[in-house]
């Protein structure tokens, strides 16, 4: 026992610890250090992740706060950084362009502001500038608006579905992108209540058709969406969305899966030409037409006059 050591209630526990064989003490010490580091790691790791991955909405709120405090020069680099983020939603992209164009206009970057306003009006045609804005902001905005008024094509994307129950369906997507902002088109589809969305990607071409196989079960509603993305996968235009897709119902199938005909050949099992009544009526009409044609084509006879005297005979002679 060490000099000056007086075991008590707590000392007894210490003695138990000291009673561990020396050859195991090093291993236990390392294990205790490892446990301590693992207990402290989650908090610091969570703080690191939160600092490195600030949400886009939080960054936008930061930039908008700077603009509200009239720090437009400070807001520009924040907004430029956000604009390069991957996968911005349509609403986030609108907020970025709106604030970035305004900030550049206020600090005197008229040409840059005009170009951003052109993009903003393309993805949000209903955007209207606040009439209380300074002339510095109004000038590039109206210049951008004027450039779009000269365009005959309104930017956007549309998705429609031709849905069938017993055969392949089709999703037809039309892209209108006169300024060629889009780099690709993404189309998602699935049958309601079925598997997750199947996503197809194509180039930014004016028309895209996706073939959809028939459902595995008795599903009747096809849900689709289409998005045009920029180079950073930001959503420029969208028709429907993964959370609010376009829903199209398949028309009811004919009995036994047969398609209904439009010429009437399958109705009642017989054609009207197989009915004898049809031919009797047709023959009468044709004969009547021939007689009428004969009398119409016959030349007119000259008019004649003749006196007719009545003659009555009685017992072989003329009655007086």
C-alpha 182/C-alpha 235 separation (Å) is 9
267 pLDDT more than 80: no
Q: Is 101 in a helix, a strand, or coil?
A: helix
The b/e string for 101-138 (b: 16+ C-beta within 10 A; e otherwise) is bbbbbbeebeebbbbbbbbbbbbbeebebeeeeeebbe
Q: Is the pLDDT of residue 305 over 90?
A: no
Structure-block tokens of residue 10: 């707590």
At 290 the pLDDT is 54
pLDDT at 136: 94
CA angle 254, 257, 260 (to 5 degrees): 40
For residue 126, what are its two tokens?
Answer: 């209903």
SS3 276: helix
Confidence band, pLDDT 50/70/90 cuts, at residue 35: very low
Whether the per-residue pLDDT at 135 is higher than 90: the answer is yes
Predicted confidence (pLDDT) at residue 158 exceeds the cutoff of 70: yes
Q: To the nearest whole percent, how much of the chain has pLDDT over 90?
A: 54
Residue 233, pLDDT > 70, answer yes
Highest mean pLDDT among 7-11, 124-128, 249-253: 124-128
Of 105, 102, 89, 90, the C-alpha closest to 63 is 102
Q: Is the pLDDT of residue 317 over 80?
A: no
pLDDT score at 289: 58
Report the C-alpha gap between 49 and 110 in whole angstroms: 38
Contact 93, 227 (CB under 8 A): no
For 39-93, write each residue's pLDDT tens digit: 444 443 233 333 433 599 999 999 999 999 999 999 999 999 999 999 999 999 9
Identify the residue whose tokens are 């058709």.
209
CATH number of 156-252: 2.60.40.10
pLDDT, residue 39, reads 41
Whether 275 shows a pLDDT value over 80: the answer reads no
Which pLDDT does position 37 carry in this prediction? 44
pLDDT band at 253 (very low <50, low <70, confident <90, very high): low
The pLDDT score that the predictor gives to residue 38 is 45
Q: What pTM does this model have?
A: 0.62
List the chain domain ranges: 56-149, 156-252
Give the model's pLDDT for residue 194. Answer: 74
* CA–CA gap between residue 97 and residue 80 (Å, rounded): 10
> By C-alpha distance, which of 302, 145, 161 is closest to 239?
161
> How far is Cα 133 from Cα 195, in angstroms, rounded to an integer?
49
In order of 32, 37, 39, 46, the CA distances from 42 in angstroms are 17, 9, 7, 6
Residue 313 has pLDDT above 70, yes or no: no
Mean pLDDT value across residues 7-26: 46
Residues 63, 109: Cα–Cα separation, whole Å: 18
| CATH architecture designation of domain 56-149 | Alpha Horseshoe (1.25)
pLDDT digits (tens, 9 = 90+) for 162-212: 999 889 999 999 999 999 999 999 999 999 887 899 999 999 999 999 999
Confidence of residue 226 (pLDDT cuts 50, 70, 90): very high
More confident residue, 303 or 126: 126
pLDDT of 252 reads 79
Q: Is 141 helix (H, G, I), strand (E, B) or coil?
A: helix
């Amino acid at each position: 026992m060490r000099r000056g050591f007086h075991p008590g209630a707590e000392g007894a526990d210490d003695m138990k610890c000291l009673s561990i064989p020396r050859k195991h003490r090093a291993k236990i010490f390392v294990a205790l250090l490892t446990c301590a580091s693992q207990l402290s790691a989650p908090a610091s790791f969570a703080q690191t992740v939160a600092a490195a991955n600030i949400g886009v909405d939080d960054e936008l709120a930061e930039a908008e706060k700077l603009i509200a405090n009239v720090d437009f020069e400070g807001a520009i680099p924040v907004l430029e950084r956000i604009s390069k983020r991957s996968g911005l939603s349509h609403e986030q992209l609108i907020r970025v362009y709106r604030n970035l164009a305004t900030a550049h206009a206020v600090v005197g970057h008229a040409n840059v502001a005009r170009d951003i306003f052109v993009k903003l009006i393309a993805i949000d045609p209903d955007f209207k500038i606040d009439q209380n804005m300074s002339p510095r902001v109004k000038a590039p905005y109206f210049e951008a608006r004027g450039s779009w008024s000269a365009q005959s094509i309104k930017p956007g994307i549309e998705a429609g579905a031709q849905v069938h129950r017993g055969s392949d369906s089709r999703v037809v997507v039309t892209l209108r992108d006169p300024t060629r902002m889009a780099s690709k088109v993404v189309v998602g589809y699935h049958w309601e209540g079925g598997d997750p969305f199947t996503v197809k990607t194509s180039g930014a071409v004016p028309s895209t058709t996706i073939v959809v196989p028939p459902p595995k079960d008795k599903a009747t509603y096809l849900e689709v969406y289409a998005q045009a993305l920029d180079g950073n996968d930001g959503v420029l235009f969208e028709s429907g969305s993964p959370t609010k897709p376009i829903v199209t119902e398949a028309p009811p199938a004919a009995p036994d899966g047969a398609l209904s005909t439009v010429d009437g050949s399958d109705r009642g099992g017989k054609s009207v030409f197989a009915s004898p009544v049809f031919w009797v009526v047709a023959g009468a009409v044709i004969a009547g037409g021939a007689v009428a044609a004969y009398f119409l084509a016959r030349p007119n006879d000259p008019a004649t006059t003749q006196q007719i005297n009545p003659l009555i005979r009685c017992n072989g002679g003329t009655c007086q």
